[in-house]
Amino acid sequence: MSHKPVLLVVAHGSRDPRHAATVHALVRRVRSLRPGLRVETGFLDFNIPSAHGVLESLAAEGVRDVVALPLLLTRAFHAKADIPAVLRDAPSQLRIRQAEVLGPSPLLLSALERRLYEAGLTPADKSSTGVVLASAGSSDPEAIAVIAAIAREWRHTGWCAVRPAFASASLPRTENAVRELRALGCKRVAVAPYVLAPGFLPDRIARGAAEADVLADVLGPAPEVAQLLLERYDTARAPILAAIGA
């Protein structure tokens, strides 16, 4: 029997109950893709169980190896500071690897397109449709640069144009990006929220999409997102398996 570190999905947490519900739906999909893998969920704030509490429970059970996977799309503050702090405070008998954040990844672009097609677009609409890649926003310049790079890359797959937008901390806002795409002459404008779960900032994105023709749903438990979690897990667990000779 192969040794499988426990996968701990570390989510931000929110006062909005839709956030935790979406996280749990995504984790259920991950479990369905790999039935033999133990997957736990912990939150940084607002929701229970806390990530710290889950780590203490795992240690009390005798678990030794854990892959902690930040349920984040960019390497902003939470991935660089909050989550490493939680892992440092974990029981010492745990061997923990922090997996990479989810983005950027071609699988996320596939998930974004899935949501746009579910909202009514077709592949034939791409060349005449401008897309706003609407992210929550960050004060971290690295995270902002990554979103801009994703927008440039996505444009090359055939859309009329792609513009990044941010719900907080950075500009432009979604509504301004929608107007810019109209001014460019795109026949229709779609807003693709580059967010994992509903909440305060995604609601702001939705309000900013009022003048758009299409508003896609959040990424949530899209199959591509679940597959990406497992890819990040596999990459992070490889050094653990090498260390224990599994």
What is the C-alpha to C-alpha distance for residues 95 and 102, in angstroms, rounded to an integer? Answer: 21
Whether residue 226 contacts residue 33, with contact meaning beta carbons closer than 8 Å, is answered with: yes
Q: Is 159 helix (H, G, I), strand (E, B) or coil?
A: coil
Whether 246 has a pLDDT exceeding 60, the answer reads no
At residue 140, the pLDDT reads 87
- Whether the link from the prior residue into 5 is cis, omega within 30° of 0, is no
What's residue 242's pLDDT?
67
Distance CA 19, CA 111 (A): 18
Residue position matching structure tokens 């449709």: 129
Q: What pLDDT was estimated at residue 79? A: 77
**What is the DSSP annotation of 69-130?**
EE--SS-SHIIIIIHHHHHHTS-TT-EEEEPPPS-S-HHHHHHHHHHHHHTT--GGGGGGEE
By the 10 Å C-beta count (0-12 exposed, 13-18 middle, 19+ buried), 136 is classed as: buried
pLDDT of the residue at 175: 98
User: φ, ψ for residue 43 (rounded to 5)?
Assistant: -115, 150
pLDDT in tens, 28-67: 999 999 999 999 999 999 999 999 999 999 999 999 999 9
Per residue in 208-243, pLDDT tens?
Answer: 999 999 999 999 999 999 999 999 999 999 876 666
Q: Is the pLDDT of residue 85 over 80?
A: yes
In angstroms, the CA 240 to CA 219 distance is: 30
Of residues 68 and 76, more confidence is placed in 68
* Rounded-to-10 torsion of CA 155, 220, 86, 4: -100
pLDDT tens-digit map of 148-195: 999 999 999 999 999 999 999 889 999 999 999 999 999 999 999 999
| Cross-strand partners of 98 | 68
